[in-house]
Amino acid sequence: MAVEGLEQARKLMADARKLCVLTGAGISAESGVPTFRGPEGLWRTFRPEELATPEAFARDPRLVWEWYEWRRGVIRGCRPNAGHEALARLALSGGKEVRILTQNVDGLHEEAARAVAGGRDPSPALPLELHGSIFRVRCTRCPYRSTHREPLDTSSTDLLPRCPRCRSLLRPDVVWFGEPLDDEVLQEAYDLARHADLCLVVGTSALVHPAASLPLATVRGGGAILEVNTTETPLTPLAAVSLRGNAAVWLPLLQGGET
Ligand code: BV8
Ligand code: ZN
């Protein structure tokens, strides 16, 4: 099945003129970033459904920042893997229109884009970040927003980062459960998915909406789904091909079919 799946998958990739890629935590697993629902997943040890919410932050901003700073520390030590790099090469090859939509907040797609582009313009490989970035902060009160990569001391509430403009608490610039995604980002994502002839879905459990419904927009627009995942997901039955296994192994094989 795997080999025959690969040949069919390569044909889908070769025929695609407009490719929309949707990635989830699974593409970063090989880099050492914990997934959400895997055996060692974040949801197991950190009750994130109680932490990745505006209510949790209102109730105990120090605890939420402690969890995010722990994740930021883990991710600072992680590098993009062969899966991120294969997608960046695909997007920069110019052979077809490729747009990467990611649910991840770890910044590894952007790091891979800049590394693969070298001195060239990395923008075709820069992802649309559906859920924001763990290395960006925004004010809980005014429009202030900025990149923020340095380690934070979360040992007490009065050490938490504050807005340089209005002194209110800063929060991670990510989309929490119960919060809407940025309108323009979501509209752009739907447009890309709707007009794609292939949606390559990599390393997502396809449980979180509205991101998980983007591949369905491709199918409704007459396109197909190609899935890469170590397990079955709710999208598997809708996929023309579902390659079972590690994104860091399969994506270079798929990209390799591109001359
Ligand atoms: C909203 C950022 C409305 C923060 C995240 C009931 C039904 C349907 C929907 C809902 C419902 N109840 C509530 C909702 C809405 C809710 C939702 O979808 N809940 C789900 C859980 C049921 N959605 C929301 O709240 C969204 N907002 O709906 O707002 C609204 C509208 C207007 C006005 C007000 C409100 C916001 C959702 C965004 C939440 N933020 N993250 C942070 O990161 O801290 S979501 C979080 O989970 C991640 O960002 C990630 O994107 C997402 C999904 O996880 P995955 O990426 O898929 O990772 P996971 O671990 O689950 O899976 C990994 C996969 O990889 C697995 O399949 C595994 O097999 C595979 N894998 C592992 N290793 C590998 C691999 N594959 C390949 N290779 C490997 N090596
Ligand atoms: Zn402010």
Q: Looking at residue 1, what is its pLDDT?
A: 38
164 CA distance to ligand 1 centroid (A)?
32
Does ligand 1 have an atom closer than 6 angstroms to the CB of 81? Answer: no
Q: Which residue from 55, 177, 201, 202 has its CB within 8 A of the most atoms of ligand 1, so it is best to mutate?
A: 177
166/205 Cα distance (integer angstroms): 39
Residues 6+ apart with CB under 8 A from 228: 200, 201, 202, 203, 242, 243, 245, 247, 250, 251, 254
Residues 6+ apart with CB under 8 A from 132: 105, 172, 173, 174, 175
Give me the amino acid identity at 45. Answer: T
Helix (H, G, I), strand (E, B) or coil at 133: strand
Burial track 118-136 (b if 16+ CB lie within 10 A, e otherwise): eeeebebbbbbbbbbbbbb
Q: Looking at residue 2, what is its pLDDT?
A: 44
Residue closest via CA to ligand 1's atom 45 equals 208
Q: Looking at residue 42, what is its pLDDT?
A: 67
Residue closest via CA to ligand 1's atom 23 equals 209
- Mark whether 109 is an active-site residue: no
Residues 6+ apart with CB under 8 A from 139: 145, 163, 165, 166, 168, 169, 170, 171
Lowest mean pLDDT among 44-53, 98-107, 168-177: 44-53
* 77-136 residue pLDDT tens: 999 999 999 999 999 998 899 999 999 999 999 999 999 999 999 999 999 999 999 999
167 CA distance to ligand 2 centroid (A)?
6
Ion ligand 2: residue ranges with CB closer than 5 A: 139, 141-142, 144, 163, 165-166, 168
Q: Is the pLDDT of residue 41 over 80?
A: no
Does ligand 1 have an atom closer than 6 angstroms to the CB of 147? Answer: no
161 exposure class (CB count in 10 Å sphere: 0-12, 13-18, 19+) = middle
